Every structure is written in C-alpha cells, then in structure tokens.
Amino acid sequence: MNLDFICYPIGMLVKLLYNMVSILDTNILSAYAISIILATIFFKLILMPLTLKQTKSMKVMQELSPQIKEIQKKYEKDPQTLQRKQMELYKEANYNPMSGCLPMLIQMPILIAFFYVIRQPVQFIFQDQAFFDAMNKSFLWIKDLGYTENFLFENGTFNGLSMGGLTIPFIGGVFPILAIMSGYSTYLTSKMTTASQPSMNEQQASTQKTMTMMMPVMLFVFSIQMPAGLALYWVISNIFQVVQQYVILNSSKKPKEELK
C-alpha cells in the first residue's frame, strides 16, 4: 500500500513543529525529539473521536461480558441459539459488534503512514540528508534518535547515557530502556483490550493469551533494531492510549450512555 499521499502532509506537520520548537533544542532534549512527541500527541488527539468510539465499544463488551458468559454456558451445545441470543442481547443494549472495528480500520492507514514518516525522516520531513545528519537528535539518555538505542559508535561509546563524558553502557546500550518501555506499554494496551472482551472458549482464550505475550516481545525486538525515534513514537502513542482506555473503561456511565 502506497501511503505517500498521507506521509508527505504528516512530514510537513512534523517539520512545522520542528521549526516551532527549534529554540528549545538542547543536548538533553532535541527539537527533533520534541517534534516527534508533539506530532504523536497531535495525531492521537485528531483521532480521538474514533478511538473513543472504539474504547466505548470495548467498555460495552466489558459490561455485557457476564451476560454473554451465561448465555454461552447455557447454549454451548446449540450454536445457532447461542448466536441468536447474543444478537438479541446486543440489540437490547443498542450495541453493534462491528462498531469497534470501523474506527480501527480508519485509523490504521494514518498510524502506519506516521510510522513511515518517522522511519524515513529525510524523505518525508527534512528532504535534506546533510541537514538531518548534522542536526541534534538527542533524547534524554539517547545521543541520536536516528540510530538504534543500542548502537555502538565508532568511538566505542553506546547510544546511551553519558555522565561527565563517560557513557554508561547498561543504559540504552545493554539495557535498552526505550525498547523495554515499548514492549511493556504494548503489553498494557493488549491486556486492557483483552480484559474488555467477552468470555471466550478455551482455544480462543489460549490464542489471545499467546498474542498478548508475543506482541510485546515482537515490539521490543523491533524497537532495538530500528531507529530509536520510532520507539519514542510508539511509547508516547501507547501511553496516551493506556490513559484514555483506563479513564473510559473505569468511568461510571452505562453502556447505552457511552455509545451516544
């Protein structure tokens, strides 16, 4: 899928943000890092109506879960009646089982395009390799977001934390904090999503459990192999989503009210 028509406008926005915050550029927190964080938050806010719809749908399923479990137990040997009873329950709750899928399908091209932009900043944001190579790309303990968090520079130092000119290899190098945060935040979002789903049979539950454990591992491995700027984007995005889901899933409103 060619998403250049989305990538270039996103890249223009990141460049605009970069120019706006360039006066804040420091050796600890670069304007590039700030622009990634602000752009991530901006797009999460833009997509919030869709994510709210999706999360509210999850809340409805969470609250209907005891009733669904009871129906599944009662009609486990009669699949047709089971399906009919579930649909009746959904209708009574004014809930469409597909309501949580459409927002996700609309969001995906934008999120994937943003991923491409951060992965190829020269092409989509700065359009100048020399400028990108020379600019400050630091973020807290990371010297350069354009490299992997555990990258070993020619001078023998890791892309990690330095104190008084001495690099501490376990921070960002041997112990990649951002990659770990990427995996753990993915685990939290997966866990919250799974908790809101209706009761599943043994095979479905086993598959879901495997996915919940595998996705964080995959994101961790991915984060230590790609530029640290991507991991920063993913962590900020996940933190935003976790807070949003927590607030909605723990709100006191009823399902019908949530879907309005």
Instruction: Give the pLDDT confidence of 196-250 residue by residue, as tens digits.
Output: 555 555 666 677 677 778 888 888 888 888 888 888 988 998 898 888 878 776 7
Q: What is the pLDDT of residues 114-138, one digit of tens each?
A: 888 888 899 999 988 999 988 999 8
Tokens linked to 194? 């799974």
- DSSP letters, 101-114, are HHHHHHHHHHHHHH
CB atoms within 10 A of CB 58: 21
Domain assignment present for residue 211? The answer is yes
What pLDDT was estimated at residue 33? 93
Whether the pLDDT of residue 15 is over 90: the answer is yes
Domain that holds residue 222: 4-63+100-258
**What is the chain's mean pLDDT, rounded?**
78
Asked which of 70-74, 169-173, 180-184 is least confident by mean pLDDT, the reply is 169-173
SS3 160: coil
Residue 162 lies in a domain: yes
Is 91 part of any domain?
A: no
pLDDT of residue 255: 45
Q: How confident is the model at residue 38 (pLDDT cuts 50, 70, 90)?
A: very high
**What is the structure's pLDDT at 259?**
44
Integer Cα distance of 101 and 95 in angstroms: 13
Q: Identify the pLDDT of residue 3.
A: 80
- For residue 161, list its beta bridge partners: 168
90 versus 163: which is more confidently predicted?
A: 90
**Amino acid of residue 136:** N
Q: Is residue 221 part of a domain?
A: yes
130 occurs within a structural domain: yes
Domain assignment present for 148: yes
> 170 or 59: which carries more pLDDT confidence?
59
Using CA atoms, how far residue 21 sits from 15, 26, 128, 140, 238, in Å, is 10, 11, 19, 16, 23
Q: Domain count of the chain?
A: 1
What's the DSSP call for residue 144? Answer: B
Check residue 97 and give its pLDDT. Answer: 65
Structure confidence at residue 125 (pLDDT) = 92
Q: Has residue 92 been placed in a domain? A: no
Report the alpha-carbon distance of residue 214 to residue 212 in Å, rounded.
6
- Higher local confidence (pLDDT), 105 or 138: 138
pLDDT at residue 94, rounded to an integer? 74
Q: Is residue 171 part of a domain?
A: yes
